[in-house]
Structure 1
Amino acid sequence: MAEVPEVEIIVRDLRQAVVGRHFTEAEVLSPAVVRFPSPPDFIEALRGRTVTGAHRRAKFILLPLDDGRTLAIHFMLWGDLKLLPQGSERAPSTLVVFSLEGGEELHLTDTLGYARVAVGPASEVALRLKLEELGPEALDDTFTPEVLARQLRRRRSPLKTVLLNQRVLAGLGNRDADESLWQAGLDPRRLASSLTREEGVRLHRAIRAVLEEGLRLRGTQKDLFGVQGQAKHRRNVFGRTGAPCPRCTTPVSHLRIGGRNTHWCATCQPESGAPSEPAQASLL
């Protein structure tokens, strides 16, 4: 599952291996993958253009080009990007092939076919993808407990729903939200506005720890070069319905909140907001 750690790893790899090189060609194998412009115009926009940078905004990969346009890539759930030798075999899930100078290709794949790309002037990309409406980045130095408290204090919706609202916090995904709430000892069903200052600090610390641990282990998927990351997709509670909580052995609970599968420990994350034992920083 491509969440912030997985996307950030790919962005860092792109800075290393692709920035400064130009596209010699592009081939769209699934027209639906191109959000804008039309697939032929998308291909023409990339041909001969040099990649001048690689950035991430939430789960968007943003590659500025030397003519002022930006190539945007979004993996959705299971998208992936691989750097391969030119002429490499194309997996059935390949959606776009970007040919690079130097005899290599970037293959964008997605077994579900949901990944999307777009290219256009930077301002148009930001407007059409609503990048300016996104909330603060959880990995930025400017993301502090005070910023998180400000984002949560007026939200009278369940914590889980609010944490997945990209206008509140950019890029936090389903898996990492569950893991952050487990580590912070907070019930995902509680109203976001109900958190005390101490609970907000705990949640902030947990979010940063979960994301940084994912980065340190290079995510759960293969990186740009095909090397498998060492982070576990199913960590402490996510996707472990009925399994023993690694902290207290209570069976992990499951519920759909806001349409999303949610996992938590009823003992470590009580509705009262006061866990029976302090949350430990054991992510694995």
Structure 2
Amino acid sequence: MAEVPEVETIVRDLRAAVVGRPIAGAQVLLPDAVRFPAPPEFEAMVAGRVVLAAERRAKHILMPLEGGLTLAVHFMLWGTLLLAPAARRRAPETLIVFALDRDEDLRLLDKLGYARAALGTAGEVAERLDLASLGPDALDLSFTPEVLAERLARRRGALKAVLLNQKVLAGLGNRDADESMWLAGIDPRRAPVSLAPDEIARLHGAIGEVLREGLELRGTQADLFGRPGQARHRRNVFERTGQPCPRCGTPIAHLRITGRNTHFCPHCQR
């Protein structure tokens, strides 16, 4: 599942292996994979432009290109980017192919077909993808317990749902939210306003620990070069319904909160 550790791993790989290289051309294999502009225009506009940088905003990958354009990619659930020899056979799940120099391709893949790309000026991309509405990034040094407390203040609903609200906290996904709340010992059904300062501090530390661990292990998916990450998709509670909690042995419980599968320990997370 493509969450912040997986996306950040790809961004760092792009900086090392793609930034500074020209895109000779692009081929859109699945028209729906391009949000905007229309696929023929997308292919024409991206051709001949050098990739100047690779950045991450929440789970969006932003690649500023020569000439004032920005290429944006979002993996959704299971998408990824692969740097491969142009002669290598394309996988059936390939959505878009960007031809680079040195006879290499940068390929956008997604077995579910949900991953998306977009192209426009930096301002157009930010506006149409609503990037300005995103909350602080959980991996940013400016994200402190005080910032988390401020973002949770006066928020209604279950804590799990609030943590997944990208306008509250950018990029935290379903898996890492469950793991963070387990590590902090906080019930996902709690109201955010009910958290004491020490609980907010524990939650803040847990979010950082979960994300940093995933990043250090290079995520749960393949990286830009096709090498599998070493992080476990099912860690302590996520998708481990009925299995013993690693901390106390209580069977892991499952419920749905605002339509999202949620996993927690009924004993450790009272």
What's the TM-score bracket when you normalise by the shorter of the two chains? over 0.9
User: Partner residue of 2:221?
Assistant: 221
Is 1:264–2:257 an aligned residue pair?
no
- In the TM superposition, residue 153 of structure 1 has moved relative to its aligned partner by 1.1
What residue in structure 2 maps to residue 103 of structure 1? Answer: 103
1:166-205 residue pairs with structure 2 within 5 A? 166-205=166-205
Show the counterpart of 2:145.
Answer: 145
Paired amino acid for 1:115? A
State the partner residue of 2:126.
126
User: Which residue identity lines up with residue 7 of structure 1 in the other structure?
Assistant: V
- Counterparts of 2:68 and 2:148 in 1: how far apart (Å)? 33
Contact 1:153 1:194 in 2 (8 A): no
Once the two structures are superposed, residues 191-228 of structure 1 have per-residue CA deviations (whole angstroms, 9 ceiling, x without a partner) of: 11111100000000000000000001000001001111
Equivalent residues of 1:75, 1:116 under 8 A apart = yes
Q: CA deviation at 1:87?
A: 2.2
Identity between Structure 1 and Structure 2 (%): 66
Q: Which amino acid aligns with 1:97?
A: V
1:71 Cα offset (Å): 0.1
Q: How do residues 1-284 of structure 1 correspond to structure 2 at under 5 angstroms? A: 1-270=1-270
Spell out structure 1 runs of 4+ moving beyond 3 A.
none
Letter in 1 for 2:106: L
Normalised to the residue count of structure 2, the TM-score between the two structures is 0.99
Q: In 2, distance between residues paired with 1:30 and 1:88?
A: 19
Shift of 1:2: 0.3
The amino acid that maps onto 2:189 is R
Residues in 1 aligned to 2:156 and 2:20: alpha-carbon distance in whole angstroms: 46
Contact 1:76-1:114 at 8 Å conserved across structures: yes
2:249 maps to amino acid: T
1:262 to partner: Cα distance: 0.0
Q: Is the 8 A contact 1:243 1:251 kept in 2?
A: yes
- What do the CA deviations read for 1:160-182 (whole angstroms, capped 9, x no partner)? 00000000000000000000000
User: Quick one: which amino acid aligns to residue 167 of structure 2?
Assistant: R
Specify every segment of 5 or more residues in structure 1 that has no aligned partner in the other structure, as ranges. 271-284
Letter in 2 for 1:203: L
- The 1-side partners of 2:202 and 2:71 are apart by 37
Tell me how many residue pairs correspond in the alignment: 270
